[in-house]
Structure 1
Amino acid sequence: MPSASSRYIVLTGGPGAGKTTTLDLLKAAGYSGTVEAGRAIIKDQQAIDGPALPWRDPALFAEHMLAWEMRSHALAAGTAGVTFFDRGVPDVIGYLRLSGLPVPPHVERAAHVFRYSPRVFVFPPWRAIFGQDAERKQDFAEAERTFEAVRGAYLDLGYACVEVPPAPPPQRAAFILQSVGLNSAAI
């Protein structure tokens, strides 16, 4: 059974806040990193005209995200060193709450079983870099609500949320690395 791991570091927040761009820099510097569940699931579901899309069946979309995040956690167990996660299991709880859906007991259990570093890095909404595309249909107001819902889920689960300041991506990556005691010289 997975246990809390200080080497599993989550980057989270609302859509369009710069998480993935920052994570890409961390991966380019040699750190392990995951792929964001939501965007990947939307691409896959659109490719097959599937039902697990947030605008078709939010509960089914959440189940797909949960499975993805649990799999990402399991894959990280096979790597050495730090793994940076583009969201985590608690994000599913935030998404369900944001959608006005109940959080099923198995999702709550998953958030207690699949743990991450006690410090989670949250990217607040940043209007200057926010943009919409084929997978990101939310407007900025929804991005703000998503940020609050996701941050609230992590806080409720006992994580400490560290806000990543708005800055160019290399500075954000360096901030995260320095915050967890890792060398930021490669950024």
Structure 2
Amino acid sequence: MPVQRAAITGAPGAGKSTLLAELSRRGVATVSEVARTILKSAGGMALREEDPLTFADAMLSAQLVAWDDTQIEGPVVFDRGFPDIAGFLRVEGLPVSDAITRACNEYRFEGPIFRAPPWRAIYTPDDERIQDWEEAIASDRAVCAAWRGHGYALIDLPMVSAEERASFVLARL
């Protein structure tokens, strides 16, 4: 069985990381969100705030490494993907580079793309999630448009527990 890369996209704070943790607990290979890793590193938050274009390039580089590291058989579920980087730039009002567009077109996810819709009841900002509720909704719109613009159909996740969401995802992998 070849690798089947799937992704979870959508609004910040909509339960993506919690869902990935549950999928991992059930034995599914997962890839953490590269942006969060960068934001947690020294200077990561400043880079995002002061130079979003370079931050996007850093996300692209990290996403490419994560992609190359998933040469396994079976499903792998990513917390976000290349089109999320394009969506980030659009939210910031910045142009999407040719390199990011090329990555969106050349590195194709074979598996389903799940969308975690904005979910007010569980949304909580944290040290890396700095968007307010309105910005989270705008981010969701932008990343979903980017995925759709690159030819993907999105499957909305139900607003249920992480365990139920994981069962929903597993039934579709």
Q: What's the secondary structure of 1:126's corresponding residue? A: coil
Q: What's the secondary structure of 1:7's corresponding residue? A: strand
Give 2:33's aligned residue.
36
Matched AA of 1:55: E
- Percent identity over the alignment is 39
Determine the C-alpha separation between the residues in 1 that align with 2:86 and 2:75. 24
Query: Is the 2:9–2:16 Cα contact (8 Å) retained in structure 1?
Result: yes
User: Residues 165-186 of structure 1, C-alpha deviation per residue, up to 9 Å, x if partnerless?
Assistant: 1101000111111123xxxxxx
User: Size of the alignment, in residue pairs?
Assistant: 172
Determine the C-alpha separation between the residues in 1 that align with 2:57 and 2:70. 20
TM-score when scaled to structure 2?
Answer: 0.94
Give 2:63's aligned residue.
69
Give 1:18's aligned residue.
15
Please, which of 83, 86, 94 is the counterpart of residue 87 of structure 2? 94
Unaligned runs of 5+ in 1: 181-187
Determine the C-alpha separation between the residues in 2 that align with 1:80 and 1:120. 18
Determine the C-alpha separation between the residues in 2 that align with 1:33 and 1:80. 13
Question: Closer, same or farther in 2 for the Cα pair 1:132/1:111, shift >3 Å?
Answer: same
Give 2:135's aligned residue.
142
Question: Closer, same or farther in 2 for the Cα pair 1:85/1:51, shift >3 Å?
Answer: closer
Give 1:120's aligned residue.
113
Tell me the CA shift for residue 106 of structure 1.
1.2
Q: What's the secondary structure of 1:107's corresponding residue? A: helix
Matched AA of 1:15: P
Tell me the CA shift for residue 56 of structure 1.
1.5
Query: Is the 2:31–2:66 Cα contact (8 Å) retained in structure 1?
Result: yes
Unaligned runs of 5+ in 2: none
User: Residues 86-122 of structure 1, C-alpha deviation per residue, up to 9 Å, x if partnerless?
Assistant: 0011110111111100011111011111110253100
Query: Is the 2:5–2:111 Cα contact (8 Å) retained in structure 1?
Result: no
TM-score when scaled to structure 1?
Answer: 0.87
Give 2:101's aligned residue.
108
